[in-house]
Structure 1
Amino acid sequence: MNDTTVWWLVTGVLVAAELMTGTFYLLMLAIGAVAAALAAHLGAGLTPQLVSAAVVGGLAVVLWRLKSLRREAQVPTELHLDIGETVQVSSWDAQGTAQVKHRGAHWTAICPTSPTPAPGPHRIRAIEGSRLVLEKI
């Protein structure tokens, strides 16, 4: 089996794995495998094939991550339906975080407005990643 066939098989395996997981990162690595297959078609040795797979695949992953971070930063907070909802905080830990239950799931919560937050009802002011930013009611 020649190098070109191996790279096309690697591409197929990466695409199939991406379809099973639903992440785009494996698809970006498959693009790197396509670059290596094209390098093999052009008669390049194994080292240029590996370098082209690593550079193109790695660059695609980095660019995809930057694009997704930019997209996350552009989501207006007004679209979060949880902002303004009330949660009950039973206790705060030494790091200033609490575990609260909201909509049937456990969330990590922070309260930046108070240096020593107190237990009790709090309002969700914002959502930062997977953390709720709370304010005391």
Structure 2
Amino acid sequence: MSDSTLWWLLAGSAVAIELFTGTFYLLMLAVGIIAGALAAHAGLGMTAQIIVAAVVGSAAVIAWYFIKRRRAGDPSVRAMRSVNLDVGEILQIDEWHADGTASVKYRGAQWTVIQRPGNAPTPGSYRVAELVGNRLLVDKV
């Protein structure tokens, strides 16, 4: 069996395992293995094939790590309207307490309301952005 055939079998195995585990990093390593197969097709020796596979695979993993780190994270489940029907509702807040919270009557109960850090507590209309424990996190409308 030729070297390139072994590389292609390894690449296929890595992709199959990645499908079971759901990690994207293993797919990046499979890109490195494919580079090793292409190096075998180009007629490079086994040492050069391994070096090409290691360098390309490592570069792909590192690149994916930095791309993923730079992107904003997924929104919190607590801020999704499909999970919490309070998200998006409008509240009227007449008065804020000294500790930065407010109390409002909402859905027949008394709720504690908080704002995102750095916002000035002013009376007015606010939209529920997220449920944090038993508090409503709001944004100014």
Q: State TM-score, norm by structure 1.
A: 0.55
Could you list the per-position Cα deviations for residues 8-49 of structure 1 after superposition, in whole angstroms to 9, with x for gaps in the alignment?
000000000000001111100000011000000010001110
Give me the whole-angstrom Cα distance separating, in 2, the residues matched to 1:75 and 1:21. 21
Aligned partner of residue 36 in structure 1, secondary structure: helix
Give me the whole-angstrom Cα distance separating, in 2, the residues matched to 1:54 and 1:81. 38
Identity of aligned residues (%): 52
With over 3 angstroms needed to count, the CA separation of the structure-2 counterparts of 1:70 and 1:8, relative to structure 1, is same
1:49 is aligned to 49
Q: 2:76 aligns with which of 76, 80, 100?
A: 80
1:1-137 alignment, distance < 5 Å: 1-71=1-71, 74-75=72-73, 79-80=75-76, 82=78
Q: How many residues align?
A: 86
Could you list the per-position Cα deviations for residues 42-85 of structure 1 after superposition, in whole angstroms to 9, with x for gaps in the alignment?
100011100000000000000001111111xx348xx53648xx
Give me the whole-angstrom Cα distance separating, in 2, the residues matched to 1:25 and 1:75. 17
Post-superposition, which runs of at least 4 consecutive aligned residues in structure 1 deviate over 3 A?
Answer: 79-83
**Any stretches of 5+ residues in structure 1 without a counterpart?**
84-122, 127-137
The CA RMSD measured in Å over matched residues stands at 2.9
**Any stretches of 5+ residues in structure 2 without a counterpart?**
80-113, 118-141
With over 3 angstroms needed to count, the CA separation of the structure-2 counterparts of 1:75 and 1:25, relative to structure 1, is closer
Amino acid at match of 1:59: A
Give me the whole-angstrom Cα distance separating, in 2, the residues matched to 1:41 and 1:8. 11
Amino acid at match of 1:31: V
Rg larger for? 2
Give me the whole-angstrom Cα distance separating, in 1, the residues matched to 2:59 and 2:25. 11
1:116 is aligned to none
Give me the whole-angstrom Cα distance separating, in 1, the residues matched to 2:78 and 2:4. 51
Aligned partner of residue 62 in structure 2, secondary structure: helix
